[in-house]
Structure 1
Amino acid sequence: MKKVFIDFRRCIGCGSCEAACAREHSGKPNISIVQTSELMMMSFNCRHCENAPCMLICPARALYRDEDGAVRVKYHECIGCMLCSIACPFGTPRFDERLKVMVKCDLCANRRAEGKLPACVETCPMDALILATEEEIVGMKLKEAAVRREEFIRKVEDMMGCGP
């Protein structure tokens, strides 16, 4: 199952992802970027959890997993009780005042049906948002760590005069 991950080192907090999400979802974004310190941004977006607490707690069974594994809402069945938002460790489902139901990230289901990336991922000017599986992310991080380790070793060897 692919999810949207954020590379915190790349995020500049520009809000492009929020604007793109709002454009795709009737003016209200289902992702938000919060500055946690002077140098760190944190995204609040649905992680489409494997054992999604929001799905488990929903008394109306309005939350379901689509064919790609994204957790989505059957709006016609949602009773707007907000239990999914309370159960979500990321607090991402939100109550839509106009529709009187809970809404959340659907990984841009309409765009995925057309073979496109979610709007937030496609729009990010810094490529800080990545649509990938957890295994792909771990693989990328292991490769990055190996490169950093090699660079560190070269620097130490150069400083000690014992390089090749």
Structure 2
Amino acid sequence: MKRIMIDYTKCDGCKNCTAACMQAHRERPGTVYDLDLTDPSNESRNHIAADGKGGYLPIICRHCDSPECAMSCMSGALSKDSSTGIVSYDEKKCGSCFMCVMNCPYGVLKPDTLTRAKVIKCDFCMETGGEPNCVKNCPKKAIWVEEVQA
């Protein structure tokens, strides 16, 4: 199973991972150069927080072994694929209770800004295949994908 791993000490807060995520999930085709960073429909599934000590914390879904988000989801909208390890979200099943948001130990999941009726969550860029955009675009290699044993 694959996991996104993070080395906080390498992160310089450039936010390339955030812009890459927005680019990967934008509704209208285009390049990162014409990406509207203020358009809530291009909302990122990760973010960078200041650690209060002059450093940065990449807040990115880990697709946990025992995902609290999926275990607390009463509607079954969140589920973990036992073969890939990816925790996926089915918007059609979501009841907008946001128990997943409250129970994520990393503070990754959030209600969408536009409607506040669905959850914004990393999908590991499964539609594009291969490595997630955030990982591919981290110049410091502070985030990477690693194969782990279940």
Q: Based on CA coordinates, which of the two structures has the bigger radius of gyration?
A: 1
- TM superposition score category, shorter chain reference: 0.7 to 0.9
Task: Say yes or no: does 1:50 pair with 2:65.
Answer: yes
Higher percent of residues as helix: 1
CA distance, structure 1, for counterparts of residue 146 and residue 78 of structure 2: 22
In structure 2, the residue matched to 1:102 is 119
* Residue 133 (structure 1) aligns with: 147
Match of 1:156 in 2: none
Match of residue 24 from structure 2: 24
Q: What TM-score, normalized by structure 2, do the two folds share?
A: 0.80
TM-score, normalised by the number of residues in structure 1: 0.74
RMSD across aligned C-alpha pairs, in angstroms?
Answer: 1.7
Inter-partner Cα distance in structure 2 for 1:7 and 1:111 = 24
Note if contact 2:4-2:63 (Cα within 8 Å) is conserved in structure 1.
no
Unaligned runs of 5+ in 2: 27-41
SS of structure 1 residue aligned to 2:93: coil
Within 5 Å, give how 1:1-164 maps onto structure 2.
Answer: 1-26=1-26, 27-66=42-81, 67-96=83-112, 97-98=114-115, 100-112=117-129, 116-134=130-148
Larger RCO (CA under 8 A, 6+ residues apart): 2
CA distance 1:102–1:126, change in 2 (3 Å): same
Question: 1:80: Cα distance to partner?
Answer: 1.1
Question: Matched residues, percent identical?
Answer: 31
Structure-2 change in CA distance of 1:35 and 1:134 (3 Å): farther
User: 1: CA distance between counterparts of 2:99 and 2:58?
Assistant: 22
Q: CA deviation at 1:124?
A: 0.8
How far does the alpha carbon of each residue in 1:99-142 deviate from its partner, in whole angstroms, 9 at most, with x for none? 72112011111122xxx21000001111111111357xxxxxxx
Query: Which runs of 5 or more residues in structure 1 are unaligned?
Result: 136-164
Opposite residue 89 of structure 1, the aligned amino acid is P
